Amino acid sequence: MTLADRYPLLHAPARWEWGGLDVQFSTDLPPDRLVTNIHVICFVGDRIVLCRDDRDIWILPGGTREAGESIESCVIRELAEEAGAELAGPLHHFGAHYATTDRPAPYRPWQPHPHKAWLWCTADVTLTGHPTNPDDAEHILEVRPFPLAEAIAHAATDGPHLPELLQLAAELHPRGSLVTRAQTSRPSV
């Protein structure tokens, strides 16, 4: 059975209207030049960190790369801004949503257009303080590590593919299969 068979919502072509984007998930990693956004499934022990924003949506920390910013530098900045967290181990890239936009220009002038990618990573983190909540970013009200089953349920508030993304991340995270230890059945979404 393939990953696409096991995680059909995650692998299904989708439309992200908020960005005028047609997207498709793959575990084939994109070239650095296509990566415009990076999001991290953060682990504190066997728990997954989620951030609740001022819309009452639970999100994964991450965001848009700045001009010339490396993937790791973006992750370090976004973890501080949205989760008040620091990397406690290496960053592991495990997949991406490849996107094509129908917008006439890139979101930021230095970004590739019309094709780009959202990189998904896992990492062990340490929660070190409060999110910095810069003025031009999401306003985070709460940061909390959840057991896998609860993280999956909360992540569904930000998109139908996210429960499967979290389950896949837990399965692929280098410390071992959290799915086997924490939950073996997928929740209904």
For residues 170 and 123, the answer to whether their CB atoms sit within 8 Å is no
What CATH code is carried by the domain that includes residue 83?
3.90.79.10
143 domain residue, yes or no = yes
- Name residues whose C-beta falls within 8 Å of residue 173's C-beta, 6 or more positions apart in sequence: 41, 43, 92, 122
Predicted TM-score of the model (pTM) = 0.90
121 domain residue, yes or no = yes
78 domain residue, yes or no = yes
CA dist., res. 187 & res. 162, Å (int):
12
For residues 17 and 97, the answer to whether their CB atoms sit within 8 Å is no
* 180 pLDDT higher than 60: no
What is the domain count for the chain?
Answer: 1
Angle at CA 154, nearest 5°, toward 148 and 159? 110
- pLDDT tens profile 35-67: 999 999 999 999 999 999 999 999 999 999 999
Task: Name the residue among 26, 155, 158 with its Cα closest to residue 167.
Answer: 155
185 domain residue, yes or no = no
65 domain residue, yes or no = yes
CA dist., res. 164 & res. 128, Å (int):
28
- pLDDT tens profile 108-121: 999 999 999 999 99
15 domain residue, yes or no = yes
Question: Which domain, by its residues, includes 13?
Answer: 3-178
58 domain residue, yes or no = yes
142 domain residue, yes or no = yes
